[in-house]
Amino acid sequence: MVKLGVNIDHVATVRQARRTIEPDPVAAAVLVELAGGDGITVHLREDRRHINDRDVDILRQVVRTKLNLEMSIAPSIVKIACRIKPDQVTLVPEKRQEITTEGGLNVSGQLKKIKKTVKTLQKKGIVVSLFIAAEKKQIEAASKTGAEFIELHTGRYANMKSKKTADKELRVLAIGAVLAKSLGLRVNAGHGLTYLNTRELVETVPYLEELNIGHSIVSKAVLVGMENAVLEMKELINSCQQGDN
Ligand code: PXP
């Protein structure tokens, strides 16, 4: 069964809109777990635009399922991860001006640096995932870093306006998943996934272990509550005929 990691960054985005103390992403994490979410994902950005140091410290103590920390390879953030010791780190590219993570990590272009970061994190007992585009070059490079997982960037698929182009992207993702698996990598996916586009992904792309979904779940949670929003996504994923069956 494909697992659901819920990215709660945007609970913190609402808090930061007023620089106040509510809503608390820690409370959101508890509700996600009570509703059956399989993990909590947060992105500690260098500019701390949503999740901050206090959040990750408390989440580490509170999260009972799995804490997945998305982060750049900046040494100051790597240092924090080594201290906090999340269950998993997902390395992502990060630009100050972007609204959200735009592309995948350029692993092939900075193999040595990423390999070193992966090793540093793994020495602390942290599982490492690399957020990459489903490109042969990047997948092959990822397999040379020692990281256990890749997270396939589903943003392009999510942004496609027609069924034809979306299907094409799904094929690219499926080919990427097969290649990754053949190289010994485990496969997660995420970015831009919603209640409308997740089924096709799960039913087409093989070997998926976990999806990381944030904006769509938090958006629904604002209207119907976090527990309902998580439950609905869990039920949707559980009702899929998985791609590798
Ligand atoms: N996975 C990664 C690596 C991400 O950077 C993000 C966005 O923070 C997500 C998943 C979740 O994306 P979305 O909020 O679009 O569901």
Query: pLDDT tens across 129-138, in order?
Result: 999 999 999 9
How close is the Cα of 214 to the center of ligand 1, in Å?
A: 6
Query: Is it the case that residue 245 has pLDDT exceeding 70?
Result: no
- The residue from 10, 43, 50, 153 that is catalytic is 43
> From CA 230, how far away is CA 238, in angstroms rounded?
12
Taking the CA atoms of 119, 150, 103 and 237 in sequence, report the sign of the dihedral they define.
negative
Ligand 1 centroid to Cα of residue 7, in Å, is: 7
CA of 104 to the centre of ligand 1 (A): 11
> 63: closest CA among 85, 80, 39?
39
- Which structure tokens are listed for 49? 């635009």
Q: Ligand 1, residue 43: give the atom nearest the CA.
A: 8
pLDDT band (50, 70, 90) for residue 242: confident
Q: How many CB atoms lie within 10 A of CB 235?
A: 10
29 domain-assigned: yes
The burial class, CB within 10 Å (0-12 / 13-18 / 19+), for 22 is exposed
Q: What angle do CA 205, 139, 210 make, to 5 degrees?
A: 40
Whether residue 51 lies inside any domain: the answer is yes
Confirm whether 191 is a catalytic residue. yes
pLDDT at 92: 97
pLDDT tens figures, 36-50: 999 999 999 999 999
For residue 59, give the CATH number of its domain: 3.20.20.70
Structure tokens at 232: 């609905």
Amino acid residing at 24: D
Closest protein CA for atom 9 of ligand 1 = 191
Residue nearest ligand 1's atom 4 by CA: 191
Residue 45 lies in a domain: yes
DSSP 106: -
- Residue closest to 73 by CA, chosen among 102, 40, 106: 106
How much is the pTM? Answer: 0.96
Within a domain: 245: no
pLDDT, mean of residues 196-209 = 98
Residue 103: what pLDDT?
82
Tell me, in angstroms, the distance from the centre of ligand 1 to residue 75's CA: 22
Q: What atom in ligand 1 is closest to the CA of residue 70?
A: 3
What is the share, in percent, of the chain residues with pLDDT greater than 90?
Answer: 94
Give the Å distances, CA to CA, from 58 to 6, 24, 27, 215, 229.
17, 11, 10, 22, 23
How many domains are there within the chain?
1
Range of the domain at 77: 3-240
Whether the predicted pLDDT of 97 surpasses 80: no
Residue 68 lies in a domain: yes
User: Probe ligand 1: pick from 46, 100, 102, 157, max atoms within 8 Å of CB?
Assistant: 100
- Burial profile 72-109: b = 16 or more Cβ within 10 angstroms, e = fewer: bbeeebbebbeebebbbbbbbbbeeeeeebeebbebbe
- C-alpha span between 99 and 192 (Å, rounded): 13
| Spatial CA neighbour of 192 closest among 157, 227, 163, 226 | 157
Q: Which two tokens stand for residue 235?
A: 């039920």
Task: State the closest ligand 1 atom to the C-alpha of 213, by its place in the atom list counted from 1.
Answer: 16
Ligand 1 contacts CB of residue 101 (under 6 A): yes
Question: How close is the Cα of 119 to the center of ligand 1, in Å?
Answer: 24
Q: Is residue 13 part of a domain?
A: yes
Average per-residue pLDDT in the chain? 96
Give the DSSP H/E element, type plus range, for residue 237: helix 226-238
Q: Whose C-alpha lies nearest to ligand 1, atom 3?
A: 131
Is residue 100 pLDDT above 90, yes or no? no
The pLDDT value given to residue 235 = 98
